[in-house]
Amino acid sequence: MARCCIPLAIFLCVLLMLSWCEALSSNVDDGYGHEDRSFESDSLIKLNNDDVLTLKSSDKPTSESSTVSVSDFGAKGDGKNDDTQAFKKAWKKACSTKGVTSFLVPKGKTYLLKSTRFRGPCKSLRSFQVLGTLSASTKRSDYNKDKNHWLILEDVNNLSIDGGSAGIINGNGKIWWQNSCKIDRSKPCTKAPTALTLYNLKNLNVKNLKVKNAQQIQISIEKCNNVNIKNVEITAPGDSPNTDGIHITNTQNIRVSNSDIGTGDDCISIEDGSQNVQINDLTCGPGHGISIGSLGDDNSKAYVSGVNVDGAKLTETDNGVRIKTYQGGSGTAKNIKFQNIRMENVKNPIIIDQNYCDKDKCEQQDSAVQVNNVVYRNISGTSATDVAITFDCSEKYPCQGIVLDNVNIKGGTASCKNVNVKNQGNVSPQCS
């Protein structure tokens, strides 16, 4: 009998010990400390000998989203009172908030703003929603500290700027145009603000936004990478000076699509440092067309490559598709394609100008930006000038690798100097 009890006693002792260990473990800090068993903010996991991964809990889970409205910071939105400080306070909050965050400009109101800079980097800001109207101050003295910019967004990655098809950025540029030396030659040439500058942004989306009547350039995209612009509408009078629709410089991997631009200068201008630029389904007019350049001004080096314009309609513009470079510059404009374009009553439908001059007098110089590998394909329409195709190239650095493929522009001839042209399909007019 005693022998039979020994195994039973051992079994009971084991059960007792297991029960005691489980109870003890419930009082030991195992690094969780919360009912949901999430790590405490200062918990560490050691990796190998040198690497340490710190897991920090935030006040809100990263999956939670929040919206910061300018209305919550005192913006009146009556179009009369200055809302600049309210926007700055709201931006500071949105930029510093953890978790996915949206900066909101509510619809149905007009917000009067002076020169304003929205600067990152931000913690988790993902959306800049302009559902109302941003209206620029018309007091030129409000721009004394920065005469180059009205609104500038900089140093923010993974951002979407969404106008919701109702949002408007209004530069109220008339007062600036009236004081431009291009309108009144008796006045000195002075700087004017760009309405919206997007600077040093990566992974940027701009959509469903309206920009109008900029003081000078409407949207300037500078030093950005991986940009997608879609469904934007940009307008200004045809005689408004220097109001480029979209200005692209030092930017790589950008696409502009399904957009309508009518303004007083280039609908789209592409300048130095820009690579892999895609333009699709663009409506342009009034304006100066689609321009690569100006390049090489003040004897500078300039490089542009990988531009593809595929699908555009230009109506009564001062130029069609243009490449313009100054004498004395250097560098290259290469690997460029203009295709599937319709032009109606356009001045200078196709033009390469390596002798571009916007001054009273330009001296003849030897060096030039080299233009090569440019294809014009499936381009048709009518010319408003006697010359429909102009290739005015450098004698020392002639244009090379120029292809005209199924080009039919009625109403003008071709003027071709220092250029190597290959015709494919039906081409009219042709270089003689």
The alpha carbon torsion through 119, 195, 256, 350 (nearest 10 deg) reads -140
The single residue of 149, 260, 272, 288 carrying the catalytic annotation is 288
Tokens encoding 57: 């809990």
How far apart are the C-alpha atoms of 145 and 349, rounded to whole Å? Answer: 41
The DSSP line for 309-343 is EEEEEEES-S-SEEEEEEBT-EEEEEEEEEEEEEE
How far apart are the C-alpha atoms of 93 and 73, rounded to whole Å? Answer: 10
- The residue type of 62 is T
The β-bridge relationship of strands 268-270 and 387-392 is unpaired
How far apart are the C-alpha atoms of 102 and 160, rounded to whole Å? Answer: 9
Helix or strand or coil: residue 165? Answer: coil
Per the annotation, the verdict on 265 as an active-site residue is yes
The single residue of 260, 265, 272, 318 carrying the catalytic annotation is 265
- The residue type of 383 is S
Neighbours of 174 (CB within 10 A): 14
**Burial track 200-237 (b if 16+ CB lie within 10 A, e otherwise):** bbeebbbbbbbbbbbbbbbbbbbebbbbbbbbbbbbbb
3-state SS string over 211-274? EECCCCCCEEEECCEEEEEEEEEEECCCCCCCCCCEEEECCEEEEEEEEEEECCCCCEEECCCE
Contact 119, 94 (CB under 8 A): no
Q: Supply the residues annotated as catalytic.
A: 265, 288
